[in-house]
């Protein structure tokens, strides 16, 4: 399974229509691609709880339903401390990402890679929205090709999920510009 954690600037951009420009369009597109990935593979989008609380007042009722039913609001960082210091949003996202790598692959979607690269793990990827979109395009091309192959070879259809997960990890978890 894959977990995607959008950082503060991503969530702020998708919830505030006053943020405009090329960078905002790229962030919104990356979030849409993350949702698209959810429809193809067993993946989840996790919104850090403090971050959700910070943007919730901007959401209309429909948007709140979309966030609370389509995403996981993870409140585990609320009130948590490390070394006696309360976790801020960025630290809580790191905490969640590091915890989730014990079982799953994790993508942190952010413009500020240095804030989330404090710990490294082979199953954790910190990536910029434009790079995420590029990798999603590559993955989708491979996905479409694999669907054609699976149609031609019904005997391997039972391995479809494993094949797709293998494609995902080979595309996303190769070296990227945000990796240390």
The model's pLDDT over 106-117, given as tens digits with 9 standing for 90+, comes to: 999 999 898 887
The model's pLDDT over 43-91, given as tens digits with 9 standing for 90+, comes to: 999 999 999 999 999 888 988 898 899 999 999 988 777 777 778 999 9
The model's pLDDT over 160-172, given as tens digits with 9 standing for 90+, comes to: 777 788 888 889 9
The arrangement of secondary structure in 2-172, i.e. its CATH architecture, is 3-Layer(aba) Sandwich (3.40)
Beta-sheet pairing, 2-6 with 81-82? unpaired
**Domain locations along the chain:** 2-172
Query: Taking the model in full, what pTM does it have?
Result: 0.87
Of 138, 139, 162, nearest to 150 by C-alpha is: 162
Of 113, 118, 135, nearest to 37 by C-alpha is: 135
């Amino acid at each position: 399974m894959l977990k995607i954690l959008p950082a503060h600037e991503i969530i702020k951009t998708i919830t505030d229509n006053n943020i405009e420009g090329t960078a905002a369009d790229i962030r919104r597109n990356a979030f849409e691609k993350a949702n698209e990935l959810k429809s193809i593979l067993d993946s989840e989008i996790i919104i850090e709880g403090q971050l959700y609380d910070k943007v919730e007042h901007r959401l209309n009722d429909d948007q709140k339903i979309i966030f609370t039913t389509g995403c996981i609001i993870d409140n585990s960082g609320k009130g948590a401390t490390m070394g006696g210091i309360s976790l801020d949003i960025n630290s809580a996202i790191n905490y969640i990402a590091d915890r989730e790598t014990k079982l799953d692959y994790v993508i942190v979607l952010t413009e500020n890679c240095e804030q989330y690269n404090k710990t490294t793990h082979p199953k954790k990827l910190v990536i910029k929205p434009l790079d995420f979109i590029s990798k999603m395009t590559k993955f989708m091309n491979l996905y479409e090709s694999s669907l054609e192959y699976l149609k031609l070879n019904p005997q391997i259809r039972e391995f479809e999920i494993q094949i797709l997960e293998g494609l995902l990890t080979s595309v996303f978890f190769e070296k990227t510009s945000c990796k240390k």
